[in-house]
Amino acid sequence: MLNLTVHVKPGSRKGPLVVDDPESTPEHASVTVFLQQRAVEGAANDALVALLANHFKVAKRDVSIIRGHTSKIKHLRIDRS
């Protein structure tokens, strides 16, 4: 299981892109994610879950948003079973 802090940049021209944060440590992993989808009706959250599932090579059901559903800073849990 991996707990991850994600800084989401919705509506970005760079996206979809996952960038490791330089301050990230094994105990406190964090990334910045650039998404083309806008934060409207959960579209950015759905795209975030799909992108991180693909990035970490797990099923979408194994990626869950713990905190920050309406925030640009989110806390996620990724189950790697």
Domain boundaries, the chain: 2-78
| Residue range 19-64, pLDDT digits in tens | 887 777 777 789 999 999 998 999 999 999 999 999 999 999 999 9
Distance, CA of 58 to CA of 8 (rounded, Å): 20
Q: Which DSSP letter does residue 49 get? A: H
Distance, CA of 10 to CA of 52 (rounded, Å): 14
* Predicted TM-score (pTM) of this structure: 0.87
Fold of 2-78: Conserved Hypothetical Protein Mth637; Chain: A; (3.30.1200)
Q: Using 50, 70 and 90 to split pLDDT, how confident is the model at 11?
A: very high
Q: What backbone phi and psi angles, to 5 degrees, belong to 20?
A: -70, 135
Decide if 68 contacts 34 (C-beta within 8 A): no
